[in-house]
Structure 1
Amino acid sequence: MSTVDELIGEIESLLAAGAVSYDSSSQPCDVYEGFIFSLIVATASRHGATVTYKNVHGAPTAHLVFRTGPGHLHSTIQPFTHAVIEFDGAPALEVHLGVYVTGSSRVLHECDILVLPAEEADLSREQGVAPRGSQAVLIVECKYYVSNFGIGLARNFEGLRADIRPQSELFVSNTRSSSIARYLDARNRECELDVVPNSPQAGYLQAAIRKAFKSYLSKHAPSTVI
């Protein structure tokens, strides 16, 4: 089981961006989401993308402030940070923590981590509405538990995915559950369990993230190889 300090150390190493808003008193589940965010950013960078960090006003920042509760992407109350990912020849993407999206039912859903086109994020900010879940390139459900967790989490994720209808989705946890693995595998959902710093599973997760980026690039910049 990774400690909060270990997770923070890995986040700082992966992002290489300056100070982060987590500290030793932060909730492990919040910091774990930041760790998975960092793996997404590091995967993009490793495969040739340019990565920058911006606050809610669109200004570049080296002090990364992460959400610790759900909120609206377009909110400017706090200077929360998002990452901007730019692959050669493709429209920019943004990576956000803990923001709402609108599902096909017009119901709001929280995404632990959301990767979406910057154009859709701009529309959200301009109109003051939640982005459309159907435009998501990737959503990630992050679960940090110190003991076993139940099948209900996988069922909730399946319902979330069905209403959001993203291009790609991932269920990620720091621990394992054979029932959740079987449930999601039977539905062809991407699932990586036991994902902690420096684990083989963290590498497997990055391979799944790369797959999502490849799918995006195949539609928008087919000549870009990652």
Structure 2
Amino acid sequence: MTAQELIDNVESAIGVLRADYRGHATESDLYEAALLAIGVAAVRAAGGTTTFTDDLHTATTQLRFRTGPGNLWSRDFTFVVADFPTTTRTLELHLGVMVVGASGVAHECDVAIITNDEATRSRVHRAHPRASGLVAAIEAKNYAASPGLGVGRAFLGLGSELQQNKCNLAFPATSSTNIGRLIARKGCECFDELTPRSPAADRLSAHLEQRVRNWVRSQRQ
């Protein structure tokens, strides 16, 4: 998809992108924003009410996302807060934040669905959130051809750090047989041929929705 097509899809799904973001965002950045929009749809399907904010206090309708890896506690970037009717706990959805894995090393999550408790800890202590507070993560590869085995191995390594069942790989190309075999039955998920409104986008949304529903059930008193 072209940058303009991605912009149109993101804005129709979640709101207006700020001009300064649109002017600097690459197609890969916009693809990540499109994946965030899928995450937002999944949260809403799971019963969540979403608010876009830059500071956790004030809602915004002008969206500006990161265009590179960054710290969750840094200001002036839009993220999403999700409230649910059956629990007082909330979730947050972020683009391009670092998350600490099992080894103690921080890794970029292109899209992260994370508990507000862990995000609050991150902001208070100016420390990267831990994988224990991660509900789901998406690794985005906006490639015209299937990612190679090196990408697949790196993704599985990310899964071993953040927990395999939380990690999802998404790309618009058709998966090669090799990377499909490599990732199959490892606990993480691979969504190829994923563009906005595609069948793969629906499958990813359904998968994330179930992850969120399971988290909500675990929070009930």
TM-score by length of 2: 0.91
Contact 1:33/1:142 (<8 A) preserved? yes
Unaligned runs of 5+ residues in structure 1 are none
For residues 111-169 of structure 1, the C-alpha deviation after alignment (integer angstroms, 9 at most, x for no partner) is 11111111110110001100011210011111101233201111111111111237622
Q: Secondary structure at 1:186's aligned position in 2?
A: coil
Cα distance change of structure 1 residues 109 and 97 upon mapping to structure 2, 3 Å threshold: same
For 1:149 and 1:18, how far apart are their aligned partners in 2? 31
Over 3 Å counting, the alpha-carbon distance change for 1:60 and 1:3 in structure 2 is: same
Work out the CA distance in 2 between the residues paired with 1:197 and 1:187. Answer: 26
Q: Residue 176 of structure 1 is aligned with which of 174, 177, 193?
A: 174
Other structure's SS at 1:32 match:
helix
Q: How far, CA to CA, are the matches of 2:206 and 2:7 in structure 1?
A: 22
Report if aligned partners of 2:164, 2:187 keep a CA contact under 8 Å in 1. no
Among all aligned residue pairs of Structure 1 and Structure 2, give the percentage whose two residues are the same amino acid: 33
Say which is worse superposed, 61-70 or 148-157, in terms of deviation: 148-157
Q: What secondary structure does 2:120 align onto?
A: helix
**Helix, strand or coil for the counterpart of 1:96?**
strand
- Residues 27 and 19 of structure 1: CA distance in aligned 2, closer, same or farther (over 3 Å): closer
**What is the Cα deviation at residue 61 of structure 1?**
1.4
Aligned residue pairs total 218
Q: Give the CA deviation at 1:57.
A: 5.8
- The amino acid across from 1:49 in the alignment is G
Structure with greater helix percent: 2
SS of equivalent to 1:170: strand
1:158-197 to structure 2, matched below 5 A, reads: 158-165=156-163, 168-177=166-175, 178-197=177-196
Contact kept in structure 2, 1:138 and 1:166, CA below 8 Å: no
Q: Which residue of 1 aligns with 2:92?
A: 94
Distance 1:41 1:57, change over 3 A: closer
Alignment RMSD: 1.8
1:136-215 map, 5 Å? 136-165=134-163, 168-177=166-175, 178-215=177-214
When the two structures are superposed, what TM-score results if normalisation uses the length of structure 1? 0.89
Structure 1 residue 83 corresponds to structure 2 residue 80: yes
- After superposing on structure 2, the runs of 4+ consecutive aligned residues of structure 1 that deviate more than 6 Å are none
- Name structure 2 gaps, 5 residues minimum: none
Matched residue, 2:3: 4
Q: Which has the higher strand share?
A: 2
